Amino acid sequence: MKSRTALIGLGNILMRDDGIGVHAVQEIEGRFRFTPKIDIVDGGTLGLALLPLIGGYTRVLFVDAVEAGLEPGAIVVREGEQVPAFLGSSVSMHQAGLADLMYAARLAGVMPPMVGLVGIQPQSVDLGLETTALLQDKRENLIRTVLARLEAWGIRAVERRS
């Protein structure tokens, strides 16, 4: 049976900091285990293709690079109705995909009861496989913010032993 919570990383890993959401959830998956269990998904740039997936969850937390007009590396957290409204303000390189996904989920009646976004202001979304040094330095802050949001939802993270 599918778990009730999904952690979904979004972004284009070919565009430097835009891929930080995908990289962060991959690191989280490797470093932590969760009680209760959650599903961790590389959503990449799938956009509307995620609609059948998110409909099966009661809670979905997205992790993404967001254009919020803040200093690079600044972290933003949005929940519930703030997610689509915030995204409607030109936030992310693939914002139309996530904004469209939220709209379609509402229309189809499959919007999870709890939706959240943990985002980080990118420094560069130029072509390139590696995130900038600044966002590498801020990645642990991003991960800790994601874990704190999950904990607020009653999900405990335990670091795996090496």
Q: pLDDT value at position 97? A: 67
Contacts of 14 (CB under 8 A, 6+ apart): 127, 128, 129
**In the structure encoding, which two tokens stand for residue 128, read together?**
């390139």
Q: What pLDDT is stored for residue 94 in this prediction?
A: 46
According to CATH, what is the number of the domain 5-159? 3.40.50.1450
Give Dmax over CA atoms of the chain in angstroms. Answer: 45
The DSSP code sequence of 33-77 is EEES--EEEEEET-GGGGHHHHTT-SEEEEEEE---SS-TT-EEE
Q: Determine the residue type at 118.
A: V
% pLDDT > 90, the chain: 70
Q: Which residues pair with 157 in a beta bridge?
A: 34
- Whether 35 contacts 156, CB under 8 Å: yes
The mean pLDDT value for 99-119 works out to 89
More confident of the two residues 90 and 44:
44
- Three-state DSSP state, 107: helix
Show Cβ contacts of residue 40 under 8 Å, excluding neighbours closer than 6 positions: 6, 7, 8, 9, 25, 28, 29
Q: What is the pLDDT of residues 140-150, one digit of tens each?
A: 999 999 999 99
Predicted local confidence at residue 161, as pLDDT: 85
Tell me how far apart the alpha carbons of residues 7 and 61 are, in angstroms, rounded to a whole number: 5
The percentage of residues in the chain with a pLDDT greater than 70, rounded to a whole number, is 89
Q: Is the pTM of this model over 0.85?
A: yes
